[in-house]
Every structure is written in C-alpha cells, then in structure tokens.
Structure 1
Amino acid sequence: MSTAVDKTVEFRPKRIRRVTAVCAVGLVAVFTAVGLLLGDTPTGVIFRVSDQIAMVCLGVLLAGGVLLLGRPRVRADAEGVEVRNVVTASRYSWQDVLHVSFPDGASWARLELPDDEYVSVMAVQAVDREHAVAAVRALRELHKAATAR
C-alpha cells in the first residue's frame, strides 16, 4: 500500500505550456516568412542570404526564450521538494519549509521559509485551477507527513 511517505509527485504548469508552444511556433513562422520576403524589397536596400538566415535564427532564438516560460516544475518526495522555475532550480528539505501556501490573488504557489522568506513555485499556477489545487494538496500532504515524523 502506498502512503504519502513513499510517493513522489511532480507537477508542471498546463495552460502556459500550451500557450508558449503556440507562441514559439508563431514566432518561428513569422520570422521565417519575413526572412524569405527580405530578398524582394523595392526600398533599394540589399538583403543578402545571410540576412535572411539571421532573421530565421532570430525567430528560433526568440521562440526558445518563450519556451523557457513553460519550463517550471516542482518535484517532491518524503525528503524534500525541488523547485525549478524559469532559470533557477533549488531543492529544499521539508524541515526547512514552514508552509506550502497559495495566497489570495497570487499567480502561483509558494514555499514559506524561515526568516520571512519564500520561494515561488511557478509550476503551480492559478490559471490551471483544479490542477493547481491538486498540486498544493499533494505538496501539503507530503509536507505534513515529513514534518510529523
């Protein structure tokens, strides 16, 4: 029988991942179209193939930046919680976490730490509604089980 002590949970944002994927595809498509159309302009400016390739590469780079917004993840087990946001990743022991909270009006959940500090958990976002509720409940259950020992 599985208990809260021996399970691992992982959550990622749902809605923002779909939005970033669509935006990334759109950016690549638009910059590719602009790159292809650069060679034929009546302005007198001469665009070379290298300029067209650079435009497509710029679209790919911007798409990669947009996809970073869908990177957040939270993974928790009986020992602690790992929070990966857009750029950074950190692991916290449950003994270092005071509460798992989702303040009113906040965009995402957070881990309350000692000395009035907190860490945003961008993987648990308010726009995901029931998915966010399930994530916070699972994190609170693991926190409660770990701190009760």
Structure 2
Amino acid sequence: MTDAAGWDLVYRPRNLPRWAIAAAVVVLAIHITFGLLLTIDDVGVRNLGGSDQVAIILIGVLISAAILLFTRPRLRVGAAGVEVRNLVTVRLFEWDRVLGLTYPEKGFGAWLLFPADEHITVLAVQAGDGQRAIDAMGRFRELEERYRGTVRPGH
C-alpha cells in the first residue's frame, strides 16, 4: 500500500509528539503566568516593567516552539530510498547507501546504518511506541529486501 507520494511506509512516532505537546503547553503556561504576575509591586524591583513581562512570555514561546520540534520526526520508505526527518533536517538516502535499520540497546531512536560503521538516529522509531515500532521495523525490512535486492544483487 503506497501513499499518494509513492512512499510504501510512512511512520511517525505516537508517544513523542504527545509528550512534546504537553511539555510545550506547560512551559508556555508557566511563562505566561509569571509574565503576567510579575509586576513592580510584587517583587519590589524598580527597574522591572512591561517590556520585561513581554520578554518572559516571548522566552516561553521560543522554548515551547523548540519543544514542538519533537512533533516532526518521520520515516518514509519507498523506491526512491529512505527519507528521515528528525527535528530540523530532512534527508533522503538512496538504497545503495543504506545497510539497514536497527535499534541499539542504548539509544533514543532506531539507527539507519551505512557503510564504514556510520549511522544516523531515526527519532521516529522509538521503543516507547511498542508494537507499532516493531511493526514498522518489520515493514522496513520487507521493503529493504524488495528495493535493495534490485540495487545490490546477492544481498
């Protein structure tokens, strides 16, 4: 089953975005609360004004935006190769460069393996997603066998 863009597997983590959204909301709420409650009368500081309150709120917005980057991870697999979108970057690796996908004993996400013992972390595939992540790894291996089999005969 391929999607409209031709990808056979599109996988996003389930738990990581939920935690990221919750954390961003909490951080933003704290900064807004303190930004609005922080007045000259409350702390006795004479050089604290409205711009300081706005700055505290804006810092909360920036921190929350950075936390929301954890909602972005995605893994897409298809004939073109393996596309990994982590926090900021999106990279497409052609099948002739990919050696496999594994989950290390200690790590935050799966590893996409390359020659010369190189790898990148795939934040989308995490053990915390349980059976969904296991199913995604299995589907990846099926697609790897299909597509790498045509690129590298004998593997």
- TM-score normalised by L of structure 1: 0.89
Moved more, 80-89 or 6-15: 6-15
Matches within 5 A, 1:54-69: 54-69=55-70
How does 1:1-149 map onto structure 2 within 5 Å?
Answer: 8-39=8-39, 40-149=41-150
Distance in 1 between the 2:47 and 2:136 partners? Answer: 54
Whichever residue aligns with residue 145 of structure 1, its letter is: R
- DSSP 3-state at the match of 1:8: strand
- Structure 2 CA distance for aligned equivalents of residues 103 and 42 of structure 1: 50
* Distance apart, 1:135 and its partner CA: 1.2
Determine if contact 1:106/1:126 at 8 Å carries over to the other structure: no
Change (3 A) 1:44 1:99: closer
Give 1:138 deviation, angstroms: 1.4
**1:42 deviation in Å?**
4.0
Identity %: 37
**Rounded Cα–Cα distance in structure 1 between residues aligned with 2:108 and 2:27:** 25
Which residues of structure 2 form unaligned runs of 5+? 151-155
> Across the two proteins, how many residue pairs are aligned to each other?
146
Structure 1 residue 115 displacement after superposition: 1.1
Aligned mates of 1:82, 1:42 — CA distance in 2:
51
Distance 2:29 2:97 in 1: 46
Question: Which one scores higher on RCO, CA 8 angstroms, separation ≥ 6?
Answer: 1
Residues in 2 aligned to 1:93 and 1:130: alpha-carbon distance in whole angstroms = 27
